[in-house]
């Protein structure tokens, strides 16, 4: 079986790592196409090197621009690549512009399309990720759902017949890397001690694009009564500079984006996580660090139901949410046991040629 993976943004490289390993293990042919949506070394290359992912076979070098221009450039760049390789499956990951571009390209060429991390919903149609994931699920021939909740959403939209729960591949990577970094001290800014700090990330359009909102989020973090290690996505740095918002005020210790092992070590060693990232909400849960999510909804509702994640609907409540009582211990595994990539590859093989 020949699989062609399309990736482009940081969280997709993390998801690709266990899939690439499982495809090699099972002896399948794997072509990796990088759209170039993320291009800074710290947003892209370090994930390939640290997570042992083979270099991309094709790099489109699309880079940043508006949603339409970026997605369109990817679509145009992907078409000849998909035609040349004619894979048994085009595999797209998550919910970024690289995902929707890959999905559109595959369906237009009548190539079988599988969507990994299908069925997630925020039900917030203002999010670019929500359009990307809904449209990709409906284009796909096979929806690979990470959880039963995701499968429920797919069934509700009439997609149950082509959907399979394979578990969450981010669990595979997180648990493997957590084992590797178990004895490693987190890399912290001077004066910040393990166990005492909050690790924070903010990058979503809904938090960064409106300067009033961005200022309120940054001031909320700066006012926390603990050191806040803010790993700053380039989008946050650009928007803060544009609007004169100080990322070093108060409790803030702003650092560059961390590579994946460093991030896992930093989350494991933190007293709390504050984020608007989807992946980090789950990683916090898997590493049993309490998380506060700076959004009005989450796709990863299991983390909230189990008490390990709360939504900060009112930013003035951030200090009390971060210092809330410790969540009840749990051994629940809503995101699987670290074997999702093998299950995904087996499902792709079983469904190949079915349509
Ligand atoms: C994208 C995804 C988002 C995902 C996130 C992970 C979409 C619509 N959004 O958001 O779902 O959670 O990736 O990080 O696809 N930039 C750089 N260097 C880079 C990449 C980006 O400087 O390597 C800057 C550019 O100014 C760019 C901005 O960040 O315009 C936003 O990048 P973009 O890829 O458009 O979206 P993300 O915010 O990263």
Q: Which atom of ligand 1 is nearest to the CA of 39?
A: 23
Q: Which residues line ligand 1 (CB under 6 A)?
A: 9-11, 37-40, 43, 64, 95-97, 128-129, 203, 233-235, 238
DSSP 316: G
Q: Which has the closest alpha carbon to 279: 5, 4, 9?
A: 9
Fold of 2-167+336-351: Rossmann fold (3.40.50)
Q: Return d(Cα 87, Cα 30) in angstroms, integer.
A: 9
Confidence (pLDDT) at 295 = 97
User: Would you state the structure tokens that stand for residue 133, as one six-digit string?
Assistant: 């994931």
Ligand 1 atom at minimum distance from 70 CA: 35
pLDDT value at residue 68:
97
Is the pLDDT reported for residue 57 higher than 80? yes
CA of 235 to the centre of ligand 1 (A): 6
Cα separation, 78 vs 108, whole angstroms = 11
CA nearest ligand 1 atom 31, residue:
235
The CA distance from 84 to 23, in Å, is 20
In the prediction, which pLDDT does 299 show?
96
Closest CA to 204 of 85, 105, 124: 124
Distance (Å) from CA 325 to ligand 1 centroid: 34
Rounded mean pLDDT, 45-57: 97
- Predicted local confidence at residue 16, as pLDDT: 98
Cα–Cα distances (Å) from 163 to 16, 22, 130, in that order, read 20, 20, 18
Task: Give the ligand 1 atom nearest the CA of 204.
Answer: 38
Residue range 221-277, pLDDT digits in tens:
999 999 999 999 999 999 999 999 999 999 999 999 999 999 999 999 999 999 999
Query: Going by CA atoms, what residue is nearest to atom 16 of ligand 1?
Result: 234
Find the radius of gyration of the CA atoms of the chain.
20
Structural domain spans, the chain: 2-167+336-351, 179-322
How far is the centre of ligand 1, averaged over its atoms, from the C-alpha of 69 (Å)?
14
**How are beta strands 198-201 and 272-275 bridged, if at all?**
parallel
284 three-state secondary structure:
helix
Q: What is the pLDDT of residues 92-124, one digit of tens each?
A: 999 999 999 999 999 999 999 999 999 999 999
Q: Is pLDDT above 90 for 89?
A: yes
What is the number of alpha carbons within 13 Å of residue 346 lying toward its C-beta?
9
Instruction: Name the nearest CA neighbour of 173 among 345, 10, 336, 14.
Output: 14
- The per-residue pLDDT for 354 is 82
Task: Look at the domain 179-322 and name its fold.
Answer: Rossmann fold (3.40.50)
Give the number of other Cβ atoms within 10 Å of residue 278's Cβ.
22
Contact 201, 233 (CB under 8 A): yes
- Nearest residue CA, atom 17 of ligand 1? 234
Model pLDDT, residue 143: 98
Q: Are 80 and 4 in contact (CB under 8 A)?
A: no
Mean pLDDT over 196-201 rounds to: 98
What's the chain's average pLDDT? 97
Percent of the chain residues topping a pLDDT of 70: 100
203 is catalytic: yes
Residue 87 burial (10 A CB sphere; 0-12, 13-18, 19+) = buried
Instruction: Say whether pLDDT at 305 is over 90.
Output: yes
pLDDT at 106: 98
Secondary structure class of 26 (helix, strand, coil): coil
The answer, yes or no, to whether residue 278 has pLDDT greater than 90, is yes
Of residues 30, 38, 203, 233, which has the active-site annotation? 203
Q: How much is the average pLDDT of 26-43?
A: 98
What token pair was written down for 166? 């394979």
What does residue 216 show for φ and ψ, rounded to 5 degrees? -65, -40
Ligand 1 geometric centre to CA of 215 (Å):
20
Can you say how many angstroms the Cα of residue 109 is from the centroid of all Cα atoms in its chain? 27
Atom 20 in ligand 1: residue holding the nearest Cα? 38
Nearest residue by C-alpha to atom 4 in ligand 1: 96
Q: Do domains 2-167+336-351 and 179-322 have the same CATH topology?
A: yes
Distance of CA 101 from the midpoint of ligand 1 (Å)? 15
Structural contact between residues 264 and 181, judged by C-beta atoms closer than 8 angstroms:
yes
Spatial distance between the Cα atoms of 30 and 315, rounded to a whole number of angstroms: 45
pLDDT one-digit tens code per residue, 122-140 = 999 999 999 999 999 999 9
> Cα separation of 32 and 50, whole Å?
17
**Which residue out of 235, 242, 280 has the highest number of ligand 1 atoms within 8 Å of its CB and is therefore the one to mutate?**
235
User: Both tokens of residue 43?
Assistant: 């947003």
């Amino acid at each position: 079986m020949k699989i062609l993976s399309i990736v482009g943004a940081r969280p997709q490289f993390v998801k690709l790592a266990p899939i690439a390993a499982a495809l090699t293990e099972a002896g399948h042919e794997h072509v990796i196409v990088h759209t170039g949506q993320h291009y800074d070394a710290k947003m892209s290359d370090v994930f390939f090197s640290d997570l042992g992912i083979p270099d991309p076979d094709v790099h489109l070098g699309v880079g940043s621009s508006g949603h339409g221009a970026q997605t369109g450039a990817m679509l145009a760049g992907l078409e000849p690549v998909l035609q040349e390789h004619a894979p048994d499956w085009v595999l797209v990951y998550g919910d970024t512009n690289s995902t929707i571009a890959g999905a559109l390209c595959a369906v237009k060429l009548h190539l079988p399309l599988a969507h990994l991390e299908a069925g997630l919903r925020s039900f917030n149609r203002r999010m670019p990720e929500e359009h990307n994931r809904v449209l990709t699920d409906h284009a796909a021939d096979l929806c690979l759902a990470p959880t039963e909740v995701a499968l429920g959403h797919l069934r509700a939209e009439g997609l149950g017949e082509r959907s399979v729960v394979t578990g969450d591949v981010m669990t595979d990577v997180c648990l493997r890397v957590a084992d590797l970094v178990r004895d490693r001290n987190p890399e912290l800014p001077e004066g910040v001690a393990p166990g005492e700090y909050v690790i924070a990330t903010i990058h979503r359009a809904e938090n960064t694009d409106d300067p009033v909102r961005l200022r309120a989020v940054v001031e909320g973090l700066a006012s926390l009564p603990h050191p806040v290690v803010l790993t700053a996505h380039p989008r946050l740095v650009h928007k803060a500079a544009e609007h004169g918002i100080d990322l070093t005020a108060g409790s803030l210790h702003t650092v560059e984006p961390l590579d994946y092992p460093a991030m896992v070590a930093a989350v494991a060693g933190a007293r709390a996580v504050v984020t608007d990232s989807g992946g980090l909400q789950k990683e916090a849960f898997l590493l049993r660090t309490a998380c506060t999510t700076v959004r009005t909804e989450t796709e990863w509702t299991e983390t909230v139901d189990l008490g390990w994640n709360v939504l900060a609907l009112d930013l003035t409540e951030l200090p009390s949410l971060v210092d809330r009582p410790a969540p009840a211990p749990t051994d629940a595994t809503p995101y699987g046991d670290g074997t999702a990539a093998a299950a995904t590859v087996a499902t792709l093989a079983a469904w190949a040629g079915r349509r």
